[in-house]
């Protein structure tokens, strides 16, 4: 992940070997650099699920549908 000071956006980057080390953003396999927003769900592998929340931004209720 990286933070771009100029634009104020956070990006997540795909792994070098996406088939071996799978990362999903909102249920889609990460294949290119992606901007993260509050409420986005990131799944690393099969068991590590994170929900992105930036300070001062509300997370939409549908982000917690589990």
**3-32 pLDDT, tens digit each:** 888 888 899 998 887 667 889 999 999 989
List of domains in the chain = 2-54 (2.60.200.20)
Token pair 């509300």 in the structure block, residue = 58
Query: pLDDT above 90 covers what percent of the chain?
Result: 27
34 — pLDDT class (breaks 50, 70, 90): very high
* Sign of the Cα pseudo-torsion (11, 15, 18, 21, in order): negative
What is the Cα 12 distance to its own chain's centre? Answer: 6
Q: Does residue 50 contact residue 41 with C-beta atoms inside 8 Å? A: yes
- Please give the mean pLDDT across all residues of the chain: 85
33 — pLDDT class (breaks 50, 70, 90): very high
């Amino acid at each position: 992940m990286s933070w771009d000071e100029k634009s104020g956006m956070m990006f997540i980057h795909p792994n070098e070997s996406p088939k071996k080390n799978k990362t999903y953003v909102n249920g889609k396999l990460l294949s290119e650099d992606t901007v993260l927003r509050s409420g986005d769900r990131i799944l690393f592998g099969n068991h590590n699920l994170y929900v992105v929340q930036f300070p001062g931004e509300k997370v939409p209720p549908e982000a917690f549908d589990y």
